[in-house]
Every structure is written in C-alpha cells, then in structure tokens.
Amino acid sequence: MPFAIYSPSRRAFWLAGAALATLLCAPLAHAGSDYPNKPIKLVVPYPPGGPTDIVARVVAQKLSERLGQSMVIENRPGAGGNLGAEAVARSPADGYTLVVATTAHAINPSLFSKLGYSITKDLAPISQLTAGPLVIVATPSLAASNVKELIALAKTKSGGINYASSGNGQSTHLSAELFNAMAGVKMNHIPYKGSAPALTDVMSGQADVMFDTMLSAMPFVKGGKLKAIAVTSAQRSPSAPDIPTVAESDLPGFEAIAWNGLMAPAGTPREVIDRLNAELKKVLESPDVKQRFDAQGFAAQWNTPANFNSFVQSEVEKWAKVAKASGAKLD
C-alpha cells in the first residue's frame, strides 16, 4: 500500500514549503501595518510659490511630524497640472507617492480630448485639503475698480482686456471663461506656468487682471501691489469681508470655488489610505493650520475618502457643464 506521501521526509518538505510561503506572503498581508517606513514623495503639479505649493508645504510639514517620516515635495508643473497627476497615477500603489489634486484636475477631462490618466479611475481619493473662493485682482492702474466697470472696460477698450491664469485648464482659467460667457465679453487669455509668474505680470501691468486664489493674491492686495475687484464665492469671504462678490456686483448667480485635495495611485491599500486620512484630520483641525489658511481666504477642509470621492465626481460633472457652456477646449 503506497504511503510515501505521508513519509517524514515528504511531510517535512511540505511543512518547510508552507512556512516559506507564509514568510513571503506576510509582508504583502501586512503591507500597510508599518506604513510609513521610508520618506513619502508629495508631487505638486505646479511651480513653487503658487497656492497649491503653499498648501502642500504646510500640510507636508505637519503630516511629516505625525507620521514620523519626511515628506519630499516634488514640483512637476506642465499641461495644466496633468503631467504631475499622470506621473503619480502611474506610480506604485504603495502610499509613497502622492499628489495634490486641484479644481483643475476635475476641469481637465472636459477640456483635453486626450489625457493619460483618469482622476476618477486612476487616482484614489484620500481627503480634501482646502476650499475657498477666487478673487479677481487687477493691476493698480487699470481703469476699473468693480465688476460693472470691468465689464464696461472689456467691451470698450481697444484690443480688449488681457487676463492671466496659472495655466490652461486651471480654475483661474475657466472661472474667467465663465465670467466672459455670463458678462457677454471676451477677455483675452494669457496662460502662465503657475500663479506666481502670472501675478508678477499683473502687478507690472503686462496683464490686466487675474482670477486667482486668495491664498496667493491677497498678500499683494494688502501690500498695495494689486487691487481687488470681487470674490467669486456666493457669499463674501470672512477673511476679506469688504470685497464684494461677483454675484452681488453685476452678475447674479456667478460662483467659482477652488480646492485642493490629496490623492494616491488607484489600488493603494485601504489601511494606508485610512492612516493618511486619519492623520490629515488631525492636521487640518489643528488651530495653527486653520488659522494660516483662514487668513489667506482658504478654509481647511477634511472629509472621508468616500465623501471626497463623491465631491470629485460632482466637480467633474459641474465643470463639464461650464466648459460646454463657455466653449472652452484645449489639446
């Protein structure tokens, strides 16, 4: 009667094999239990000095302290934020490469006919970081100080009015196109690679106006280098209550909000996503972070991965309608 399969040597062989398999699988089964055990790269798809970069550096510093690992900022600007986002979408889904997504990443699917990634399929939501209105700022010498005067000037100025943006497809671009459509004007678009160089040219008069985040624009308004015309939210901003909204000025119903959020490559382990989300909640609820963002017109905004996912989906749908109505298209 055959019994070799039960022999001590064969049994020892199978036991050794099983033990080896267990050892090999253990790191996979508990891949996120010791996360993070090395530095984390945070990709900012815009140049240094702009609003997204500012938010990223504040969050990275605080998150690094809580995680006990350094966070390395990598600025990868280009293609309206798409280059950096696509690079992260193609990175290993292990939680060590993250990206700061913005309103632009929800807009871009409606503007670019070909994208190398999908924000809803190739990136995993972790949490929103900030939300806030844009502010229309102008070079101090511009002969318009409110929305009504800006519209009148855009209709009569020879050559029209030039508006700067932080890049094609950004909220700073499409919010101005929404303004064009609702006001019945055609301001000329000048795209830049980020808010910092765009604001520099508005301050010098190379461009007339810009729809920018309060986080990056308001310090120059307070310093007298730019003048504020209106904010783009439905209500006035608590950090700048003297600046009227576009809606109350001359365009009822106008609203455009900018946001930032943290995302990882799709397929990142759930426990890694949850760890980052839990630590972000503490970071964004800390008084010093809230105070720093509030002072610049952004509200610290934490939410669950599920809620952030729903928010991103709704933003994609919202801006698709705006892009269609404005006729804006990029390639």
Residue 1: the pLDDT is 38
- Count structural domains, the chain: 2
As a whole number of angstroms, the distance between CA 214 and CA 257 comes to 11
As a whole number of angstroms, the distance between CA 295 and CA 110 comes to 32
pTM (2 decimals)?
0.77
Residue 24 resides in a domain: no
Q: Is the pLDDT of residue 29 over 60?
A: no
* Residue finishing a domain among 221, 249, 277: 249
Query: Which has more pLDDT, 181 or 210?
Result: 210
Assign 13 a pLDDT band (cuts: 50, 70, 90): very low
> 266 and 121 in one domain?
yes
Residue range of the domain that includes 99: 40-131+259-326
Residue 22 resides in a domain: no
As a whole number of angstroms, the distance between CA 238 and CA 243 comes to 10
Residue 330: the pLDDT is 73
> 138 and 58 in one domain?
no
As a whole number of angstroms, the distance between CA 98 and CA 273 comes to 11
Q: Is the pLDDT of residue 285 over 60?
A: yes
Residue 120: the pLDDT is 96
- The CATH number that applies at residue 288 is 3.40.190.150
* Residue finishing a domain among 225, 249, 273: 249
Residue 21: the pLDDT is 47
Residue 32: the pLDDT is 54
CB 191 within 8 A of CB 169: no
Q: Is the pLDDT of residue 112 over 80?
A: yes
State the average pLDDT over residues 278-288. Answer: 97
> 192 and 126 in one domain?
no
The tokens for 6 are 């039960």
For residue 316, which of 95, 105, 9, 79 has the smallest C-alpha distance?
105
Residue 30 resides in a domain: no
> 218 and 192 in one domain?
yes
How does pLDDT run across 83-103, given as a tens digit for each residue? Answer: 999 999 999 999 999 999 999
100: β partners:
262
How does pLDDT run across 190-247, given as a tens digit for each residue? Answer: 999 888 899 999 999 999 999 998 888 989 999 999 999 999 998 999 889 999 999 9
> 245 and 305 in one domain?
no
Residue 18 resides in a domain: no
* Mean of pLDDT over the chain: 88
Residue 17 resides in a domain: no
CB 260 within 8 A of CB 128: yes
Radius of gyration of the chain (CA): 24
Residue 168: the pLDDT is 78
CB 210 within 8 A of CB 198: yes
**Can you tell me whether residue 196 is helix, strand or coil?**
helix
> 298 and 230 in one domain?
no
Query: Which has more pLDDT, 331 or 186?
Result: 186
- Residue 310 phi/psi, 5-degree rounding, is -65, -40
Q: Is the pLDDT of residue 4 over 60?
A: no
Residue 328: the pLDDT is 75
Q: Is the pLDDT of residue 177 over 60?
A: yes
Residue 93 resides in a domain: yes
Helices marked H in 1-48 — which ranges? 8-29
> 264 and 212 in one domain?
no
Residue type, 209: V
Residue 10 resides in a domain: no
> 139 and 124 in one domain?
no
> 245 and 137 in one domain?
yes
> 174 and 85 in one domain?
no
> 244 and 139 in one domain?
yes
Residues in Cβ contact with 74 at an 8 Å cutoff, skipping those fewer than 6 apart: 41, 42, 43, 44
* Residue finishing a domain among 249, 280, 313: 249
As a whole number of angstroms, the distance between CA 184 and CA 275 comes to 48
- The CATH number that applies at residue 175 is 3.40.190.10
> 139 and 44 in one domain?
no
Residue 331: the pLDDT is 63
Residue 104 resides in a domain: yes
